[in-house]
Amino acid sequence: MPNLIDGRAIAQRVYADLRRGIAELKSKGLMPGLAVILVGDNPASRAYVRSKDKMCRDLGLHSVKLELPGSTTQTELLARVEELNRDPSIHGILVQSPQPKQIDEAGIVRSLDPRKDVDGFHPANVAKLVIDDPSGFVSCTPLGVQRLLIESKIDIAGAHVVILGRSMIVGKPLALLLMQKNKNGNATVTVVHSRSRDLEKITQSADILIAAIGQPNFVKADHVRDGAVVIDVGINRVEDAVSEHGYRLVGDVAFDEVSRKANAITPVPGGVGPMTIAMLMSNTVKAARQWLSPT
C-alpha cells in the first residue's frame, strides 16, 4: 500500500501554527479579517463560502460574508469591493468563483487592493510570484500542494515534477512556485496539457505527478512510473446510484489502479481540498501581519 497523504491532518497542523500567529497579532491589537463575496446562488459556491466562514470563526478571525443577488451588476460589485479595500478591519478579500455571466471576473480581480488579494490572482501578485518576491500572495491550491509535499517529507529540490493542466488557478502558479530558487522549490517542472504530444511518456518520467486537468479518473496506471508521488488536485462529481446524493466525488486520478504503483498519493476527498482553505487562512494572517509591518 502507498503512503496516503492526509490533507485533513496536515491542514490541522497548519491551523495549530496559525492559532499561535493569530494570538500574537491580537496581543498587538490587530485581529486579522477576511471578507468573502458570493454573487448568485451556486450551491457548491455557497457551501464553500460557508466552510470558509466557519473556519474563520473557529480560528478567531474577523469574518465578513457578503451574499449578493445573481442580478448584481459589475458596477455594483466593484463598489462593494472598493468598500472592502478601504475597510481597515479587512485584510483579505475573496470574490468567490464562478460568477454570473454579466460579471467580468478579470476586472473584479484587478480592482482588488493587491495587499488584500489573498487568492493570489491580482497581476501584481502573479508578478511577485514570477520574480520570487515573498511579500506576494500565491494562489491557495498551489500553495496547499507545496505544503502537502513539504509536510510529507517529499523532496522537491531536483525532482522532476510534471503538472497536468495549465490553468491560472493551479497549473501555471504551481509551476512557478515549485521552480523558485529556495529550499521548498528548485524542482525541474514540465507542464503538460490537452495538446501535449506523447503525454504518457512525459508523465511516466515524473518523480512527482500533479493532476489538475478537471477530468475524472483521467490519470491511469500507464501514466505513472513505479514509486512516483501522485498529487490529485481534481474534484469531480460522477453519478453513483448507490450514494444517497446520487453522486460521488472522484479526482483526476484513477485512485485504485494508480495507488498500486505510487509511493505516495493524495485521496479525493481529503487530500488537496482541505489544504486550499487552510492556505486561504494562512494568506489572510500573512496579509494582516504585513499591514502591521509593511515591507
Q: Which residues are catalytic, by number?
A: 52, 96, 119
With CA atoms as reference, report the closest residue to 137 among 293, 292, 285.
285
Q: CA 238 to CA 272: how far, in whole Å?
A: 19
Q: Where are the beta strands (DSSP E) in the chain?
A: 3-4, 33-39, 62-68, 92-95, 160-164, 188-192, 208-211, 229-232, 236-239, 247-250, 264-265
Q: CA 251 to CA 203: how far, in whole Å?
A: 17
Q: CA 112 to CA 136: how far, in whole Å?
A: 14
Q: CA 84 to CA 115: how far, in whole Å?
A: 12
The H or E element that residue 51 is part of is helix 43-59
* Residue type at 63 in one-letter notation: S
C-alpha cell at 3: 503512503
Peptide bond into 123 cis (omega under 30): no
What are the phi and psi torsion angles at 276 (to 5°)? -65, -45
170 Cβ contact list (under 8 Å, min separation 6): 139, 141, 142, 145, 163, 212, 233
Environment class of residue 196 by beta-carbon count within 10 Å: exposed (0-12), middle (13-18) or buried (19+)? middle
